[in-house]
Amino acid sequence: MSADEWEALPDDPFELLVAWLPHNDDPARPLMTVATLDDSGAPDARSLLLSEWDREGFYWHTDERSRKVAQVRSRPEVALCIPLLGVPSAGVSHQLVVAGRAEVAPVQEQQRAYAARPPYLQQLAWQNTPEFAALPQHERIRQWEEFAREHPGGLTAPDSWIGFRVRPARLVFWFGGPLTASRRMEYVREGDGWVRRILAG
Ligand SMILES: Cc1cc2nc3c(=O)[nH]c(=O)nc-3n(C[C@H](O)[C@H](O)[C@H](O)COP(=O)(O)O)c2cc1C
């Protein structure tokens, strides 16, 4: 990125998101780390797919009974880290870090995200229970195949399916490349707008 392009970075971070993140219709969903806090204030983290994103925030989906859901219900402050690593030969990489509050996503969005998941992940949402995990592997394979046979026409989301939207309060865009030091542009929400500043990489 040239100096001019850097100075011309938009006041509205959404314009950068459009340039960096795949469209929601793209089946290749970005992988992100979702960091949460438990009741004692200890950090926790795991990889999740970024199901969708829009002006309102970043959406991820999971099982209502999971540890992360208990955590965000009691402490909704979360951080997301999304590495967007370019083709190594091009040498340019990006990283997006988001901090904000998680809230339950609209039901329509949750259903849309389920419908967009490939068949394996749709089935996983039905069978991803502690009881299933504890079965011997041969039995897990048998029950998986049986479930698939019994539902040839596709699935709808189980009751345990839930989605969250993270409304960003802070967005940090990391620019990396081989020609000089990496650096970041931070956007912090202030009222209806954003305040931005350059940070070292
Ligand atoms: C590549 C990858 C993608 C994943 N995507 C999701 C996802 O979108 N939703 C989900 O609930 N778990 C996903 N997982 C599993 C989570 O990392 C995690 O193990 C699980 O959700 C339980 O997390 P928790 O105990 O912190 O609630 C993914 C794991 C990997 C390795």
Say whether pLDDT at 3 is over 60.
Answer: no
Distance 187 CA to ligand 1 centre (A): 28
Q: Which two tokens stand for residue 161?
A: 């399916």
CA-proximal residue: ligand 1, atom 5 (nearest): 48
Q: What is the pLDDT of residues 13-41, one digit of tens each?
A: 999 999 999 999 999 999 999 999 999 99
**pLDDT tens across 122-165, in order?**
999 999 999 999 999 999 999 999 999 999 988 999 999 999 99
Tell me, using a 6 A CB cutoff, whether residue 45 lines ligand 1. no
In the chain, domain spans = 3-117+159-200
Ligand 1 atom at minimal distance to the Cα of residue 51:
8
Q: Which two tokens stand for residue 201?
A: 């990489």
48 lines ligand 1 (CB under 6 A): yes
Local structure of residue 147 (DSSP, 8 states): H
Separation of CA 193 and ligand 1 centre (Å): 33
Q: Assess whether pLDDT exceeds 90 at residue 8.
A: no
Is CATH 3.90.1150.10 correct for 3-117+159-200?
Answer: no
DSSP characters over 77-144: EEEEEEEEE--TTT--EEEEEEEEEEEEPPHHHHHHHHHHS-HHHHHHHHH-SHHHHHS-HHHHHHHH
Q: Using a 6 Å cutoff on CB, does residue 93 contact ligand 1? A: no
Per-residue pLDDT at 198? 94
CB 185 less than 6 A from any atom of ligand 1 = no
Estimate the crossing angle of helix 137-150 against helix 119-127, to 10 degrees. Answer: 120
Q: Whose CA is nearest to atom 10 of ligand 1?
A: 62
The dihedrals phi and psi of 143, each to the nearest 5 degrees, come to -70, -30
With contact defined as beta carbons under 8 Å apart, do 172 and 84 qualify?
no
Span 98-115, average pLDDT: 98
